[in-house]
Structure formats: structure tokens, C-alpha cells
Amino acid sequence: MKIKLICLSSLLLLVCSVFGQERPTAFINARVIPIVGQPIEQGILIVRNGKITAVGDARTVRLSSDVQTVDLKGKVIMPGLVDTHSHIGEGSGADGTNPIQPDVRILDALNARAGSIQRAQSGGITTVNVMPGSGHLNSGQTLYLKLRDGRIIDDLLIMTDDGRIAGGMKFANGTNPLRTSGPFPGTRAKSAALVREQLVKAQEYREKIRKAGNDKSKLPARDLNMEALAEVLDGKRVVHFHTHRHDDILTALRLQKEFGFRIVLQHVSEAWKVADEIAKAKAPASIIMIEAPGGKLEAMDVSMTNGAALEKSGALAGFHTDDYITDSRLFLRSAGLAVRNGMSRDKALYGMTMAGAIMLDLDKRVGSLEAGKDADFIVLSGDPLSVYTKVLQTFVDGKKVFDRSDPKDYLIAVGGAGATSDRDTHVHCFDGDMFGGGN
Amino acid sequence: MKNEKRKTKSSILFILTLFTIHCSLFTVSAQIAVRGETVWTMAAGEPITNGVVVIGANGKIEAVGAAAQVRIPNGYRTLSAKVVTPGLIDARSVVGLAGYLAQPHDQMQIETSGPIQPDLRAFDSYNPEEKLIEWLRSFGVTTIHTGHAPAALVSGQTMIAKTTGKTVDDAAVVPTAMIAVTIGDAANAGQGRSPGTRAKQVAMLRAELIKAQNYGTRPDAPRDLKQEMFKKVLNREIPLLVTAHRAQDIMTALRIAKEFNLRIVLDGASEAHMVTGEIKASGFPVIVHPTMYRAGGELENLSMETASKLKAAGIPVALQGGYENYVPKTRIVLFEAAIAAANGLSMRDALATVTIDAARILGIDNRVGSLAAGKDGDVAMYDGDPFEYTTHCTGTIINGRVVSEVVR
């Protein structure tokens, strides 16, 4: 009995020490690109309990006596990448019965162990907006994930300050949602009309709830579609609008103006034609970097100069993989090609991190290396914009989720036999990971 | 010209005429010299520092060497670039048959009416005005091996073309290069038609080859365009370009090649890294899938290191832009070689996969693939390491003509 008690109390002590008294880790001697603020040569990044506690250099940051140091001489540290639009995790959203299905949640369709999620980690992506597809005007609710090592999707979720699971809403216009027979639209004007019809209904639903006040008997019957669209109208759920052609981009902005929802323009193949209009509407735009024109009619004028054009116009520009369209492992390539085509290095790197964080309402937590933010960062072998640079390590909430020097992770990063298999179920014993995947 | 001392009217007229002809030649194919801080000739040895490539009026390379040793003749237009390479070769594409709009009228890369159509000639479909060809050209790609897609058991012929020319005849280097064969999921006909399995695919292909063994032996037999092509394959006049991704499918390709004593070129070959010994022993070259192809389905085990592993095993390797159904509608072989260079291939070996080694595999190294006197004046110019994301292609020359000057 006594022995058991001692065992229990020592275990408790161990638990307490891990949660409350974790020793800080200082990553030293790397070039640190904090994104907010100038790059720091021989920088220091201090992490404790999954958070960044200090960023600077030997003059500005003092190392406490209990700190463990990791020497990253010759390496580069930057924030974990934020992918505003991806299809990793094998999810699917709306089905073929209706063009507008806001009740559908990608949350209910994801495989947390999917190889695609591991590939994203190996590409340095730490935060991602996982979306249902673009074959509908509205294909459902999107999900913002932190790419922690997880067994189940719950391990990867992000909770908002008001206790909701963080995510947005997927809308699409242009040719993908068009069909030759109903109930899907056959034209662009019909597409807009169908979306407006549902948003007007949602306005009425929301008004009924407001009028009911505390009188529950006057509440409308609960409607999952209306409930989700009401969140859109309330600004709680950002609309991620798949849109390619210049006129479709303007239609998305027109709907945004009419209904006042918050919007992120996604893909924007022809952003270079309407960059000023995008800036004027203060609409953030996330770019997909495609290296050849066409593939479908509405991408015939896609341009790798979109980043430069948006930067020039003053619009907030981010990037996305649209994985499976481009490979998450090569996400940094998007920034490289944007710079090749006229975007500044600073804005391109900002676009890979902070801009995405702002688009997902997560800029208080991720997107830059600043004290108080989540310890989501990547260690690179060199210049982030060089083809020869490798992501060496990826950290989420201060935990290493990818390490290129580990043969299993290396396989995921470069490919080969078994590289795309689901994550094995494995249990770490007393190596610091046993207490789960962070907050 | 020395004759001009004879000041008779007729000789002056004659000289004037000569001049006119000469001037018109200039506009067709200017005499060009390309200076490069680094010139990758892809001939033996290190790249030349401060080199120059001189291309004559006939569009052929006259001289290559260090700028201090090679004289640029008077009147030659001189271009400069930080890095100069041979014009790039895309060893397997569908561009020209497949267009960028992805609409029925510009998708000629696959004919779905039957599984075995070796009689389909790429040059009856090739559109030299296709925008994707111009696009590839602007990244330094000067030669493409293009044709019917790896989407049927025997989808048709391939051809080799320069990425310029108003007509297919202008563009063609080799009008019929190979016969495109696919083994694997993409070769299944679907909708209950044959082939529906891998074993059936092979049975059907073997039956065709066996039939062709007797083709032409009876003088009164009618001409058969399909059998005619298979006969050329059996006679080793034309290789089969066998797209096979799974290791088992690669082994099937080698088995068929052995049974019928065929020349084959392996294409795609996602799992080649799992059977390198067998491929090496066969002696056949591999046109490896685009390095950035997405892993999934039959391609789930592909690797960014395949080109490097095959090269290390001594297998001839080229890279390709490949076949894309959606966006991007074509890949750019320069970028695919770049990722291979970042994953195990040396700079030189990576460049070789899109220049001299590709030329050898395609059998056109007498004309292209390296910068050497007598070869075609095909040159690509870059303002830095060609493989870096942030480097630009600053110009492309084909047969001595500047065909792209856009900075891309």
C-alpha cells in the first residue's frame, strides 16, 4: 500500500513537472526570420510549455540557468507555414444532391492518420485550413487544424476563444459548381441567385432568433443549414471563396458587400486583372502557384505574377497548396516562384505565414515568432526560397512533429516504398510525448 | 566578292542580288554568339567559365569554348547570360496533342474507341501553334518527345519536335519516334470492355505481337496499318515506350521485351527504385516520372530520389514533363530536374536528364543535347543557377534563331 502511494505520488510529481515546470528550450545560433520584425543573425528562440517566451539575440535575450540549448548554427528558423486551402486528410464534404450544403462539416470526414497530413508536416506546414471541394456553390464547413501528431482528429483541432471548433465556410463560383441539370446551377448568374436566396433565408432565420430573445417558444425550429449560414452572417465563420476568373472574383466581392460576411478569396487565378478592386474591397486573397496556364478554361489566364500584382495593389496576399493540386511538401516553392515573378521576398514569406494566420483569424496565436505565440516553427537548412533548402524539423506547440534525420520522416519527405501509408499507431513511453498533443 | 574590282554593270547587279539573298538569310537564321559566365556544354569535362557558343547562319553550332579562345566573327549578334545550357529536352510529353484549354477540341492525346491503336500518328494531331509549346519554349525547352498519352494499352505513336515552327513538318525532328504502351490501371478500357485487368492487357498485347510476326510473309495479304507498326517494333526499328509504374508492371514490360526481343524505353516507372537491379540488367533506359508528380494510387510509392538512385545504379535516365489532365496542364521539365537536383542528383547529372542523356535515350544526340560544333544551335539562357526558384530563363534559341526573349 505504501509503495503504491509512493509510486502514485512520484508519478503525480512527474506529471506536475512536465505541465507546470517544463524546462525552457533555447534554439540558438540560427538565422531567425520572425516575419514580424527584421531577421536576426545568430538568433535565439526560447520555447516553454508549447509557447514562445522570447525571440532575439545574445544582446536582447538572457538564458536562464535551467535552459536546455539546441545549437542550430548555419540553420534558419522561421514560423511554421500556414496553408489557407488544402484537401489533406482524405475528407469529402457535400454530396451530389444539392449545390448548397452548409450543414456538412469536413470535421466529420477526416482521417487524422492520413499520409497526406504527415507530408504536410514534412513540408513545414503547421496550420492548415482543410476544405471540402469546389464542385458545389457551398460544399460545407471547413476546419482549421494545427498539425500536431495525432491519433484522432480531435488532437489536431483549434478551439476559438468562445469555445467553438475553429473553421470557415467554403463557397465556390465559376465553372466547377455548374451542371447541365438541376438542382445545380447552369450559369454564373443562377449560381449567384441561388447563393443569395439561401443567405436571405439565413438573414430571416437570424432575425427570428433575435426577435425570440429569451422566449424559447418563439425560436424557429433548429435548421443546421441556416445555423451555419447565420454564423457566416455573424462573422464567426469566414467565407473561403473559391474563385478564378476576374469577373467571378468581382461577383464574390459583390455578394460579400451585400451580405457583409467576412471573406478570403481563394485561388484568384486572374487576380492580376482585378488586383486594385481586391485591395479596395479590403479582401484578403490566397494564391495558388500553378506553373502553366490552362488545364481548365477559367484558369487559362492564371499567372505566377499574382503575388506581385496583389502586393503592388496593397491587398493582403497569402498562399495555399490546394493539396492534392500542389504538393504540401513543396509549399515553400510557391513563395520562391512568387519572388521569381516580381513579389518581394519579405511579402512572399509574410504570405506563407502571417497573412495566412490573419486569413484564418489565428494571427494572435500563429504566423510569426513573437513572445506569447504558439511555438510553431520550422528549422531549414538554408534560404527559405532556395530549391536546395530542406525542411529539417517542424515543431507544433513546441513539440517536434517532423525530423528529417529520422528515417521514417525522411521517407515521408522524399517518398519511396510505403511513404504514403497511414501513420502507424505507436505509443511513446516516458519520452515526454506521453501526455498527448498539447492544448 | 573579290570579283567586285571588275566594275562592269552586270557584276554589280550580280553582287547586289547576292547581298539581297544574304540579307534575307540573315532574317531567317541570324549568326549568333552566346556568351555565358558559365557554359554547361554537357560534353565531357567541367562547364566552361566565361565561355561562348557561336552559331552559324545554317543554324548549327560553329564553335564552343572559352571566350579567350573562340573568336566571334564580325557581324554576329552577341547575347549574354549568366548561365548557358543546351536547349532543354522534355523526354515525354503530350503537349501539342493536348492543349491548354482542356476542351474537347484541343484534347487529342487519347482516342477512346479502342485499346490498341499503334496506327495513330502523333504528327497528324500535333498543333505547333499550341500555347503550351510557346510556354515551354520560354523556359528553355527546345525539344519535346510528345505524342499519345499513357491512357490506353497502345495509345498511338510519339514524335520528336522542336518547340518552334509554323507547321508540323518545320517542327518535326523524328516524325515517328516510339509506340506508346501502358501497363497498369490507366490501360484498362472500363465499362466492361477489354482489357479490364493487367493479365488481360498483356495477353492482348502479346496476341498483337504474335500476329505481327507473320505480317508481310504472304504477298497477297492486305495492308494493315496496325500490324505494319508492330512489325517495325518486332524488327527493332521502333522502340516501345512502355509506361509502367508498379514494380510488377515494370517487370512485365521487361518480360515482354525479352520474349519478343524488343527495344523498349521504360516510362513513368514510379517503383523503378524497387527493381533497379532488374532494370540495370535489361540495359533499357528509363524516362522517370516528373519529380513533382503527386503520390497516390499506382504512383503511391514514387520518390523524388528515383532519378538519382537509377543514375547511381548506372541506368540511363531522362526526366519528363509528363501527362497532366488538369492544372498545371503541363509540367516544365526544368522545374522537375531542379527538384531532382535537390534530391540526390548532382547539378551536372540533373542537367543531363534534360539534355544529353535525354537526347541519347531518344536517339537524337547527333543533333541536340549538348553544345558542340556541328550540332543544332539550340541554347537556353538563365540569369543564375537554372534550377533555383528565383532564377529566370532570359532567352531561348532554336536552330540559331532567338525564339523567346521574355524573362520568365
Residue with cell 514524335: B159
* C-alpha cell, A423: 501513420
- Reference A285, options A258, A254, A306; nearest CA is A306
Query: A179: distance to nearest CA of chain B, Å?
Result: 16
Name the closest residue on chain B to residue A343, using Cα atoms. B390
- How far is it, in rounded angstroms, from Cα A415 to Cα A412? 5
Instruction: Name the band, by pLDDT with cuts 50, 70 and 90, for residue A113.
Output: very high
pLDDT > 90: percent of chain A: 90
Q: Out of B329, B338, B392, name the one closest to residue A292 (CB).
A: B329
- How far is it, in rounded angstroms, from Cα B407 to Cα A89? 38
Residues 6+ apart with CB under 8 A from B70: B51, B52, B54, B63, B64
- How far is it, in rounded angstroms, from Cα A310 to Cα A279? 8
Name the closest residue on chain A to residue B305, using Cα atoms. A414
Residue with cell 540533373: B350
Residues B351 and B218 grouped into a single domain: yes
* Per-residue pLDDT reduced to its tens digit, A366-383: 999 999 999 999 999 999
Is residue A312 scored above 90 in pLDDT? yes
Contact B327 A302 (CB under 8 A): yes
Q: How many CB pairs under 8 A join A and B?
A: 108
Task: Determine the residue among A332, A412, A420 to mutate to test chain B binding: the one whose Cβ has the most chain B Cβ atoms within 10 Å.
Answer: A420
Residue type, A201: K
Half-sphere exposure of A302 (CA within 13 A, CB side): 27
Name the closest residue on chain A to residue B308, using Cα atoms. A414
Beta strands in B263-400 (DSSP E): 264-268, 286-288, 317-319, 379-382, 393-398
Residue B17's pLDDT is: 53
Q: Which residues of chain B neighbour A416 with C-beta distances below 8 Å?
A: 273, 301, 303, 305
Q: Which residues of chain B have pLDDT under 50?
A: 1-7, 19-28
Residues B277 and B387 grouped into a single domain: no
Contact A324 B329 (CB under 8 A): no
The gap from C-alpha B18 to its chain's centroid, in whole angstroms, comes to 38
- Reference A354, options A45, A119, A127; nearest CA is A127
Residues A2-79+371-414: name the CATH superfamily.
Urease, subunit C, domain 1 (2.30.40.10)
Q: Which residues of chain A neighbour B324 with C-beta distances below 8 Å?
A: 295
What global pTM score does this model have? 0.93
Residue A426's pLDDT is: 45
Residue with cell 492544448: A439
Instruction: Name the band, by pLDDT with cuts 50, 70 and 90, for residue A436.
Output: very low
Q: Which residues of chain A neighbour B338 with C-beta distances below 8 Å?
A: 387
Residue A427's pLDDT is: 40
Query: Which CATH number describes the domain made up of A81-359?
Result: 3.20.20.140
* C-alpha cell, A343: 513579389
Is residue A428 scored above 60 in pLDDT? no
Instruction: Name the band, by pLDDT with cuts 50, 70 and 90, for residue A315.
Output: very high
Residues B147 and B113 grouped into a single domain: yes
- Reference B336, options B95, B87, B88; nearest CA is B88
Q: Out of B131, B274, B303, name the one closest to residue A414 (CB).
A: B303
Q: Which residues of chain B neighbour A133 with C-beta distances below 8 Å?
A: none
Residue B10's pLDDT is: 57
Residues B113 and B167 grouped into a single domain: yes
Total number of domains in chain B:
3
Is residue A430 scored above 70 in pLDDT? no
Domain coordinates of chain A in residue numbers? Answer: 2-79+371-414, 81-359
Q: Which helix (H) or strand (E) holds B172?
A: strand B172-174
> In the sheet where B61-66 sits, what is the strand order?
B61-66, B48-55, B32-39, B77-86, B379-382, B393-398, B401-404
Parent domain of B39: 31-81+373-408
Contact A295 B339 (CB under 8 A): no
Across A12-16, A299-303, B108-112, least confident range = A12-16
Residue A19's pLDDT is: 52
* Interfacial residues of A (vs B; Cβ cutoff 8 Å): 115, 119, 290-297, 299-300, 302, 324-325, 327, 330, 333, 336-337, 339-340, 385-388, 390, 414-420
Mean pLDDT value across chain A: 93
Q: Report residue B48: phi and psi, to 5°.
A: -85, 130
> In the sheet where A125-130 sits, what is the strand order?
A81-86, A125-130, A143-146
The phi-psi region of residue A157 (left if phi > 0; otherwise alpha if psi is between -120 and 50; otherwise beta) is beta
Residue type, B23: C
Name the closest residue on chain B to residue A328, using Cα atoms. B294
Residues B168 and B290 grouped into a single domain: yes
Residue type, B80: S
Helix/strand/coil (H/E/C) assignment for every residue in B191-228: CCCCCCCHHHHHHHHHHHHHHHHCCCCCCCCCCCHHHH
Residues B382 and B357 grouped into a single domain: no
**A331-366 CB burial, b ≥16 within 10 A, e <16:** bbbbbbbbbbbebebebbbbbbbbbbbbbbbbbebb
Half-sphere exposure of B369 (CA within 13 A, CB side): 23
Fold matches, A2-79+371-414 and A81-359: no
Contact A295 B343 (CB under 8 A): no
Residue A21's pLDDT is: 66
Residue B15's pLDDT is: 53
* C-alpha cell, A346: 519579405
Q: Report residue A216: phi and psi, to 5°.
A: -65, -25
DSSP symbols for B66-90: ETTTSPPPTT-EEEEEEEEEEPEEE
Residues B15 and B107 grouped into a single domain: no
Q: Out of A300, A417, A419, name the one closest to residue B101 (CB).
A: A300
Residues B118 and B247 grouped into a single domain: yes
Residues B327 and B391 grouped into a single domain: no
Task: Determine the residue among A291, A326, A347, A381 to mutate to test chain B binding: the one whose Cβ has the most chain B Cβ atoms within 10 Å.
Answer: A291
Task: Determine the residue among B389, B391, B393 to mutate to test chain A binding: the one whose Cβ has the most chain A Cβ atoms within 10 Å.
Answer: B389
Q: Which residues of chain B neighbour A330 with C-beta distances below 8 Å?
A: 292, 339
Residue B30's pLDDT is: 73
Residues B62 and B16 grouped into a single domain: no
Contact A340 B390 (CB under 8 A): yes
- Reference B34, options B306, B319, B290, B397; nearest CA is B397
Cβ(A102)–Cβ(A229) under 8 Å? yes
Locate all alpha helices (DSSP H) within A223-305, ordered by sequence: 224-233, 246-259, 275-280
Cβ(A127)–Cβ(A362) under 8 Å? yes
Q: Residue A123: count other Cβ atoms within 10 Å of its Cβ.
A: 26
**What residues are paired with A30 via a beta bridge?**
A43
Residue with cell 524539423: A393
Contact B274 A327 (CB under 8 A): no
Residue B270's pLDDT is: 98
Q: Report residue B312: phi and psi, to 5°.
A: -65, -30
* Per-residue pLDDT reduced to its tens digit, A212-235: 999 999 999 999 999 999 999 999
Residue A243's pLDDT is: 98
Contact B330 A415 (CB under 8 A): no
Q: What is the DSSP letter of A374?
A: B
- How far is it, in rounded angstroms, from Cα B344 to Cα B311? 10
Half-sphere exposure of B307 (CA within 13 A, CB side): 34
- How far is it, in rounded angstroms, from Cα A81 to Cα B292? 20
CATH label of the domain that carries residue B57:
2.30.40.10
Residue with cell 512536465: A18
* C-alpha cell, A304: 505566377
Q: Out of A294, A302, A336, name the one closest to residue B102 (CB).
A: A294
- How far is it, in rounded angstroms, from Cα B137 to Cα B380? 9
* Helices and strands, number each (H, E), in chain A: 11, 17
Tell me the mean pLDDT in the region A405-425: 91
* C-alpha cell, A320: 495555399
Residues B49 and B95 grouped into a single domain: no
| 3-state SS, residue B385 | coil
Residues 6+ apart with CB under 8 A from A13: none
Residue B219's pLDDT is: 86
| 3-state SS, residue B401 | strand
Residues B43 and B155 grouped into a single domain: no
Residues 6+ apart with CB under 8 A from A236: A164
- Reference A172, options A282, A93, A272, A235; nearest CA is A93
- How far is it, in rounded angstroms, from Cα A155 to Cα A143? 13
Cβ(A174)–Cβ(A269) under 8 Å? no
The gap from C-alpha A190 to its chain's centroid, in whole angstroms, comes to 31
Contact A292 B391 (CB under 8 A): no
Q: Which helix (H) or strand (E) holds A395?
A: strand A391-396
- Reference B88, options B326, B320, B385, B270; nearest CA is B320
